Amino acid sequence: MPTRVDFDDRLLARIHGCLAGVAVGDAFGMPMAGWTPVEVKSRYGYVNNLIAPAPDHPLHGKLPLGSITDDTQLTMAIVDMILVDGAVSRRGMADRIVKWVTENNLLETRILGPSTKAAVRDLMVGHDPSETGRLGTTNGGAMKISPIGIINVARPMAKLVDDVEETCMPTHCTGVALAASAAVAAAVSEALRVDSTTNSVVAASRRAAKLGEVRGAQLAYPSVEKRIAMAARLIRGKTPEKAAAALYDQIGADISSSDAIPTAIGLFAAGGGDPMKTITLTANMGGDTDTIGAMAGGIAGAYTGVDAFPRHILDTVERVNHLDLADKSRLLMEFARRYR
């Protein structure tokens, strides 16, 4: 049965918090992306605010302080698909990804992940978006999926997973990537509920991962659902910082779906659902800090609402990247109200 949801100011604040968490988590982690924990500490000390990337950063060295990356850009592409097309569709997603890649000449850069790059090359020569994502296993599906969690806040989980599969099909239509993407979307949906707890968010992510893992192309990868459970066990009884270190060492913080997503959900729980604590843990952890920060930050922002973000940080990220997250949040809530 669909979940009863009150479409009120509290929900709006949480939807806004989700989008803010994606953008702030992305911008916070952007300068550290790809560095090891030792490199992060030696270059920056302890990161607890927005910083500019070092000029020698191989991906982000020319970006100004507060810049978002592909994580938020593609999240906003999904928002655009929902609000402009009025529907979730593989063709709508494929067209937006190809447009984004083409307009920014991204095939000639190192910005694209391997799954997205391979899929875009196929899409550009006319291949069917129902088939182009059947080798995609990285976290590029999950990193952008938060809006699907938002619009499914009052719908059954099976419908949420349907939308996840439709959205990810052009680039990440494998069991492991769909499990990971469904886990993040379901975590967002559960976090938006006023009666949610960190434990209920983790549990929802596990249920959705189990539904997602049997869809798409079946490849030999670890179970995302079981690795989320492992992450939850790993952090138990540890300080947030020691929990983050354990996740990095024993689950992983690279671009693979079976590593990054369980770690992101573990960081949300280790931070007690507080978005800035969660995002700060992620930035200092090392690894794929922008993507994991976007995912964990989006879940935590949905859990607490936008007021948990320092105003000057959110204002900077919105100004630098020309974002209007309040307006998009309102429109997404109106869409979710009608989406049955």
With 60 as the cut, is the pLDDT of residue 1 above it?
A: no
Q: Which domain does 157 fall in, by range?
A: 9-338
Mean pLDDT along residues 156-182: 98
In a domain, 2, yes or no: no
* Predicted confidence (pLDDT) per residue in 312-327, tens digit: 999 999 999 999 999 9
Look up the CATH number of the domain holding residue 222: 1.10.4080.10
With 90 as the cut, is the pLDDT of residue 300 above it?
A: yes
SS (H, E, C) the chain: CCCCCCCCHHHHHHHHHHHHHHHHHHHHHHHHCCCCHHHHHHHHCCCCCCCCCCCCCCCCCCCCCCCCCHHHHHHHHHHHHHHHHCCCCHHHHHHHHHHHHHHCCHHHCCCCCHHHHHHHHHHHCCCCCCCCCCCCCECCCHHHCHHHHHHCCCCCHHHHHHHHHHHHCCCCCEHHHHHHHHHHHHHHHHHCCCCCCHHHHHHHHHHHHHHHCCCCECCCCCCHHHHHHHHHHHHCCCCHHHHHHHHHHHCCCCCEHHHHHHHHHHHHHHCCCCHHHHHHHHHHHCCCHHHHHHHHHHHHHHHHCHHHCCHHHHHHHHHHHCCCHHHHHHHHHHHHHHCC
In a domain, 183, yes or no: yes
- The number of folded domains in the chain is 1
In a domain, 3, yes or no: no
Mean pLDDT along residues 223-238: 98
In a domain, 1, yes or no: no
In a domain, 258, yes or no: yes
* Predicted confidence (pLDDT) per residue in 130-147, tens digit: 999 999 999 999 999 999
In a domain, 151, yes or no: yes
Q: What percent of the chain has pLDDT over 90?
A: 92
| Average pLDDT across the chain, whole number | 96
In a domain, 307, yes or no: yes
In a domain, 142, yes or no: yes
pTM as predicted = 0.97
